[in-house]
Chains A and B, each alone.
Chain A
Amino acid sequence: MTTLQLDRVTKKFKADVVLDEVSFEAKAGETVVIFGPSGSGKTVLLRVIAGVHEPEEGKVLLQGHDMTDVAPEHRDVGMAFQNFALFPHFSARENIASPLTALGKSESQIEEQVHSIAQLLKIEHVLEHLPRALSNGQKQRTALARALVAAPKTVLLDDPLRNVDAKLRFEMRLELPRLLRRFGSTVLYVTQDYREAMALADRIAVLLGGEIAQFDTPESIYLRPDSIEVAKLFGEPAINILRGKVNEQANRVSVNQNQFIMPKGFHNKAGKFCEIGIRPESIKLFREKRVGAISYEVITITPLNERSVVLLRSQEGLELLATYPAEEQTAKIGDAFWGMVVPEDLLLFEIETGQRCLSERN
């Protein structure tokens, strides 16, 4: 059941079009992540849904009702912001209680609900503190508690982990999905971190320049990105993009003097140029020669937690970034490897538009 719908929402600030005919929907209990780089319009989008900004065009529907004339406080929406925005003169307890107080709940009800959520978020021991005496991690959990305590139908979380230490950020990323599921609210979560997006989302709305570039499950976005722009936003290091020429049989694509085996079903690309995308983890490295593999030399090696990033250069000058499980190899600078890409892992994009080419099977 759809509980949130945006219908061609356009928002302008003077001459600046910040949101351009944005449309998407979210089902009850779903977590939709709004993902995009700085300035793409994510926060403005959230504020339009909250009712803080009025769109120039388009509609916001919550639970099937048009919210255009409904004030923020009547939309049954809970919000948490990246700078926490806690009331500085209220204790953590009073901050968390504030939505319930505003709803006119009884003291005992408030006491019980605040206690319950504080327990869940592990901030019971700091409930009496003022925000200035709380660590960033505690402030963030207090802000989250405040957003969730009244069990609103819609929860808007604007990059709540942004100002939190990396360690705690990782912990919260593991715990948040389970926590949010407990409440059953429809959640809109804004982030610039693709891992956070993939970890938390049922679906991701990729916002680029005020427009939705792709709205899909994390799996579809990662494996079948609609464009080079979207492909580059997911994955670290970013996807390798190379200009290649497909041969007449459409079974090989050449990048200068190196060749890759083409995936099947692209006869319409025979003899044509295209951009090929190879994700670093798709390059499988072997010490011995394999059919279709290219010989590379290791130029640099950088650790990236459970994987290692290696810059490879072929004898013909092709440079690619590849990654492999950190515990698997003991590669050194100057080592030689044979690199293979499974044909189905090769992505093809149109040169003019950057759009992904679909095979004849799709």
Chain B
Amino acid sequence: MTEVQLSLNSVDKTYYGKKIETAVRAVKNLSLQIKKGEIVALLGSSGCGKTSTLRMIAGFEDVTGGTIQLSNRDIHDLPPAKRNVAMAFEGYSLYPPLTVRDNIAFALKAERISRSESDSKVIEMAKFLEIEEILDRYPSSISAGQQQRASLARALVRKADLYLLDEPMGQLEPQLRSVLRVRLKQYLQVHQMTTVLVTHDQTEANALADRIAVMEDGELQQFETPTQLKHKPANIYVGTFIGEPPMNTFAAEVKPTGKGFQFRLEETGEILDYQAVDFQQSLHDQLIKHKRIVLGLRPHAVKLGKGALMAQVISNQWLGDQSHIAAEFANKIIVAVSHQRESFKLDEKVPFQLEASDLHFFNAENGNAIAHGLEI
């Protein structure tokens, strides 16, 4: 069993304004145990508390409550320089009077290694992040994307107990980001670097992280592997946040029939009928307790072209390897995914069906998950 490297225990962060009423509780009672060598992503929309959390781990913000341990020592009261933490943060810029090369090399000064070893590490890292040709330029003369990579190089080249990356590739264009993501993940894994990264992009979190901590409104929603988050989201928020296109949701009334269940979609009265044989007993027992639920269906479960339901196409976008089709149904927009080109036209009325193989059931009152899938 891998040891815990970083531990956040009931961490709280409140920002106080000039008046008591303007206090903002940005992080609420957050507890996370991160293992040695693990890559963890803090994922959520702007304002969810992920950046405040990272800044508290770094030491740029005080913790209002709770404690933080790194390698079994308390760090929440230590200044950033004493935490043995390497970071690549927006706003933690490169030193203007030093070249990119010297900026990266500066991070190695504390380590007792020879000049030639330091030089070769800098070059290796620069090749890795594709910034070799700007090594002798100054920060003011390079692009935002290059600055970001130089900053990342400076953080990764060091030996540290923990690496903190704040939207490490936010300034990079999609093609480059795609390539560097793969390289970064391999590098972090090979060198067993415990890493916490912040992102609002769930595609990025899914590609890089061993586990993802989804945050919303200062609270931890779920902390699991990408696969677990996708197949067993803890609530509607996580269910609709993970995945692009997002999960489609439908409020429905639950009607147990002698032979199974009927889900009556509230907006339009459409009925989805499922037989008892489709449900495992435990799932059956859970559903029986609820009169109203929210059904979650991933985009590939929406099959356009035939079925008893009807929707009106508002967009049909072919992206090369898949099509995203958005349609209006029951006063909402549903999104379907197809792995080929589709000929649906704008405003076309299209019949569709919802496939049973992968249903998610959520509590209609509090959004929490009741059960997932029709496990046979």
Residues of A within 8 A of B (CB): 37-39, 135-136, 165-167, 170, 173-175, 177-178, 181, 192-195, 198-199, 218-219, 222, 232-238, 279-281, 302-307, 323, 325-327
Q: Is the CB of B326 within 8 A of A327?
A: no
Q: Is the CB of B174 within 8 A of A198?
A: no
Residues of A within 8 A of B161 (CB): none
**Shortest Cβ distance from residue A97 to the other chain B in the assembled complex, whole angstroms:** 27
CA A131 to CA B300, docked complex, whole Å: 38
Q: Is the CB of A238 within 8 A of B175?
A: yes
Stretch of B57-65, B121-129, B198-206, B269-277 contacting A (4+ beta carbons < 8 Å): B198-206
Q: Is the CB of A166 within 8 A of B203?
A: yes
**Nearest residue, chain B, Cβ from A37:** B173
Q: Is the CB of A236 within 8 A of B174?
A: yes
Report if A174-B320 is in contact (Cβ < 8 Å); known contacts: A37-B175, A165-B200.
Answer: no
Report if A306-B174 is in contact (Cβ < 8 Å); known contacts: A136-B46, A174-B326, A178-B314.
Answer: no
**Shortest Cβ distance from residue B236 to the other chain A in the assembled complex, whole angstroms:** 14
Q: Is the CB of B201 within 8 A of A166?
A: yes
Query: A-facing mask of B174-191, CB < 8 A → 1, else 0?
Result: 110011001000000000
Q: Is the CB of A174 within 8 A of B244?
A: no
**Shortest Cβ distance from residue A195 to the other chain B in the assembled complex, whole angstroms:** 5
Residues of B within 8 A of A218 (CB): 318
**Shortest Cβ distance from residue A238 to the other chain B in the assembled complex, whole angstroms:** 7
Residues of B within 8 A of A279 (CB): 320-321
Per the CB 8 Å criterion, the residue count for chain B at the interface is 45
Report if A235-B179 is in contact (Cβ < 8 Å); known contacts: A37-B173, A167-B200, A303-B207.
Answer: no
Q: Is the CB of A232 within 8 A of B175?
A: yes
Report if A236-B300 is in contact (Cβ < 8 Å); known contacts: A166-B202, A174-B317.
Answer: no
CA A152 to CA B333, docked complex, whole Å: 29
Residues of A within 8 A of B47 (CB): 135
**Nearest residue, chain A, Cβ from B322:** A306
B256 contacts chain A at the CB level, 8 A cutoff: no
Q: Is the CB of B182 within 8 A of A235?
A: no
Q: Which 7 A-B pairs have CB atoms at the shortest separation, nearest pair first?
A: A199-B317, A281-B321, A166-B201, A192-B173, A165-B200, A174-B326, A305-B244
- 25 residue pairs A–B, Cβ–Cβ below 8 Å: A37-B173, A38-B145, A135-B47, A165-B200, A166-B204, A167-B200, A173-B317, A174-B314, A174-B326, A177-B317, A198-B317, A199-B319, A222-B320, A235-B321, A236-B178, A281-B321, A281-B339, A305-B243, A305-B244, A306-B339, A307-B321, A307-B322, A325-B339, A326-B300, A327-B300
CA A349 to CA B46, docked complex, whole Å: 44
**Nearest residue, chain B, Cβ from A219:** B318
Report if A177-B320 is in contact (Cβ < 8 Å); known contacts: A238-B179, A306-B299, A327-B358.
Answer: no
**Nearest residue, chain A, Cβ from B203:** A305
Q: Is the CB of B335 within 8 A of A174?
A: yes
CA A222 to CA B346, docked complex, whole Å: 22
Give the dominant DSSP class at B's interface: mixed
Q: Is the CB of A39 within 8 A of B299?
A: no
Q: Is the CB of A170 within 8 A of B245?
A: yes
Q: Is the CB of A165 within 8 A of B320?
A: no
**Shortest Cβ distance from residue B39 to the other chain A in the assembled complex, whole angstroms:** 13
B99 contacts chain A at the CB level, 8 A cutoff: no
Residues of B within 8 A of A327 (CB): 298, 300, 358
Q: Is the CB of B203 within 8 A of A304?
A: yes
CA A135 to CA B46, docked complex, whole Å: 8
**Shortest Cβ distance from residue B216 to the other chain A in the assembled complex, whole angstroms:** 12
CA A306 to CA B202, docked complex, whole Å: 13
CA A279 to CA B318, docked complex, whole Å: 15
Report if A174-B324 is in contact (Cβ < 8 Å); known contacts: A136-B46, A167-B45, A233-B175.
Answer: yes
B5 contacts chain A at the CB level, 8 A cutoff: no
**Shortest Cβ distance from residue B18 to the other chain A in the assembled complex, whole angstroms:** 16
B139 contacts chain A at the CB level, 8 A cutoff: no
Report if A167-B335 is in contact (Cβ < 8 Å); known contacts: A174-B317, A303-B207, A306-B322.
Answer: no
Residues of A within 8 A of B45 (CB): 165, 167
**Shortest Cβ distance from residue B325 to the other chain A in the assembled complex, whole angstroms:** 9
Residues of A within 8 A of B314 (CB): 174-175, 178
Within 8 A of A (CB), among B195-250: 200-204, 206-207, 226-227, 230, 241, 243-246
B143 contacts chain A at the CB level, 8 A cutoff: yes
